[in-house]
Chain A
Amino acid sequence: MDTSRLKAYWRMNLTYVGILLIIWFTVSYGFSILFVNQLDQVRFAGFKLGFWFAQQGSIYVFVLLIFVYVFLMNRLDRKFGVAEKQGDR
Chain B
Amino acid sequence: MGIQAWTYTLVFLSFALYIGIAIRSRAKSTSDFYVAGKDVSPLANGMATAADWMSAASFISMAGLISFMGRDGSVYLLGWTGGYVLLALLLAPYLRKFGKFTVPDFVGERYYSQAARLVAVVCAIFISFTYVAGQMRGVGVVFSRFLEVDITVGVIIGMAIVFFYAVIGGMKGITYTQVAQYCVLIFAYMVPAIFISILLTGNVIPQFGFGSSLADGSGTYLLDKLDQLNRDLGFHAYTSGTKGTLDVFCITAALMVGTAGLPHVIIRFFTVPKVRDARLSAGYALLFIAILYTTAPAVAAFARTNFINTIHNTPYSEAPQWFKNWQKTGLLDWEDKNSDGVMQYFGDTGEQSASQQNEITVDRDIIVLANPEIAKLPNWVIALVAAGGLAAALSTAAGLLLVISTSISHDLLKKVLMPKIVERQELLYARLAAGAAVIIAGYFGINPPGFVAQVVAFAFGLAASSFFPIIILGIFYKRMNKEGAIAGMVSGIVFTASYIIYFKFINPTANNSENWLFGISPEGIGSLGMLINVTVALLVSKVTPAPPEEIQKMIEDIRIPGSASEIV
- Which chain A residues (33-69) contact chain B, with CB distance < 8 Å? 33-34, 36, 40, 44-48, 51-52, 54-56, 58-60, 62-63, 65-67, 69
A34 proximity list for chain B (CB < 8 A): 245, 249
B239 touches A51 (CB 8 A): yes
B112, CB-defined interface residue at 8 Å = no
**A interface: dominant SS:** helix
Interchain nearest-CB distance for B468 vs A (Å): 14
With A59-B81, A63-B290: A83-B562 Cβ-Cβ less than 8 Å: yes
A89, CB-defined interface residue at 8 Å = yes
**CA of A10 to CA of B555, assembled, Å:** 12
B544, CB-defined interface residue at 8 Å = no
B561 touches A62 (CB 8 A): no
A28 touches B78 (CB 8 A): yes
How many residue-residue contacts, CB under 8 A, span A and B?
Answer: 146
Interchain nearest-CB distance for A83 vs B (Å): 6
B415, CB-defined interface residue at 8 Å = no
Interchain nearest-CB distance for A56 vs B (Å): 6
A82 touches B89 (CB 8 A): no
- Which chain B residues (64-78) contact chain A, with CB distance < 8 Å? 66, 71, 73-74, 77-78
Q: Which of A29, A36, A59 has the most CB of B within 10 A?
A: A59
B85, CB-defined interface residue at 8 Å = yes
A44 touches B211 (CB 8 A): yes
A62 touches B286 (CB 8 A): yes
**CA of A74 to CA of B90, assembled, Å:** 15
Which of A44, A48, A82 is B562 in contact with, Cβ under 8 Å? A82
Q: Which of B77, B85, B221, B239 has the most CB of A within 10 A?
A: B85
A68 to B, closest residue via Cβ: B283
**CA of A45 to CA of B208, assembled, Å:** 9
**CA of A89 to CA of B275, assembled, Å:** 9
**CA of A87 to CA of B152, assembled, Å:** 48
With A46-B222, A84-B562, A88-B562: A32-B290 Cβ-Cβ less than 8 Å: no
Which of A24, A46, A73, A83 is B82 in contact with, Cβ under 8 Å? A24
Contact with B along A1-43 (1 / 0, CB 8 A): 1000010011001000100110010001100111010001000
A63 touches B90 (CB 8 A): no
- Which chain B residues (21-67) contact chain A, with CB distance < 8 Å? 38, 66
Instruction: Report how many residues on chain B are interfacial, defined by Cβ distance under 8 Å.
Output: 58
Q: Which of B253, B273, B280 has the most CB of A within 10 A?
A: B280
Interchain nearest-CB distance for B187 vs A (Å): 20
B286 touches A66 (CB 8 A): yes
**CA of A32 to CA of B566, assembled, Å:** 46
B66 proximity list for chain A (CB < 8 A): 55
A81 touches B567 (CB 8 A): yes
A6 proximity list for chain B (CB < 8 A): 556, 559-560, 564
Interchain nearest-CB distance for A8 vs B (Å): 12
**CA of A45 to CA of B201, assembled, Å:** 13
A67 proximity list for chain B (CB < 8 A): 283
With A24-B85, A28-B252: A69-B279 Cβ-Cβ less than 8 Å: yes
B221 touches A46 (CB 8 A): yes
With A17-B90, A84-B276, A88-B562: A66-B84 Cβ-Cβ less than 8 Å: yes
**CA of A63 to CA of B532, assembled, Å:** 30
B77 touches A82 (CB 8 A): no
Q: Which of A20, A56, A63 has the most CB of B within 10 A?
A: A63
A69 proximity list for chain B (CB < 8 A): 88-89, 279, 283
Interchain nearest-CB distance for B492 vs A (Å): 21
B276 to A, closest residue via Cβ: A74
B82 touches A84 (CB 8 A): no
A46 touches B276 (CB 8 A): no
Which of B82, B90, B207 is A62 in contact with, Cβ under 8 Å? B82
**CA of A1 to CA of B564, assembled, Å:** 7
**CA of A21 to CA of B38, assembled, Å:** 29
Contact with A along B277-316 (1 / 0, CB 8 A): 0011011001100100110010000000000000000000
**CA of A55 to CA of B252, assembled, Å:** 13
**CA of A51 to CA of B78, assembled, Å:** 12
Interchain nearest-CB distance for B177 vs A (Å): 25
B82 touches A58 (CB 8 A): yes
B211 touches A84 (CB 8 A): no
A17 proximity list for chain B (CB < 8 A): 89-90
**CA of A46 to CA of B240, assembled, Å:** 15
A77 touches B211 (CB 8 A): no
Contact with A along B417-453 (1 / 0, CB 8 A): 0000000000000000000000000000000000000
Which of A21, A24, A59 is B290 in contact with, Cβ under 8 Å? A59
A79, CB-defined interface residue at 8 Å = no
B274 proximity list for chain A (CB < 8 A): 84, 88
Interchain nearest-CB distance for B231 vs A (Å): 15
Which of A56, A77, A89 is B561 in contact with, Cβ under 8 Å? A77
With A48-B239, A83-B561: A59-B293 Cβ-Cβ less than 8 Å: yes
B561 touches A28 (CB 8 A): no
Which of A24, A55, A70 is B280 in contact with, Cβ under 8 Å? A70
List chain A positions with a Cβ less than 8 A from chain B: 1, 6, 9-10, 13, 17, 20-21, 24, 28-29, 32-34, 36, 40, 44-48, 51-52, 54-56, 58-60, 62-63, 65-67, 69-70, 73-74, 77, 81-85, 88-89
**12 pairs of residues in contact across A and B, judged by CB atoms under 8 Å:** A44-B211, A56-B294, A60-B290, A62-B82, A66-B88, A66-B282, A73-B276, A73-B279, A84-B275, A84-B276, A89-B99, A89-B273
List chain B positions with a Cβ less than 8 A from chain A: 38, 66, 71, 73-74, 77-78, 81-82, 84-85, 88-90, 93, 99, 207, 210-213, 221-224, 239-241, 245, 248-249, 252-253, 256, 273-276, 279-280, 282-283, 286-287, 290, 293-294, 297, 556, 559-564, 566-568
15 further A-B contacts with Cβ under 8 Å, apart from A6-B559, A67-B283, A74-B276, are A10-B559, A29-B252, A34-B245, A34-B249, A45-B211, A46-B221, A47-B210, A51-B71, A59-B77, A62-B82, A65-B89, A69-B279, A69-B283, A88-B562, A89-B273
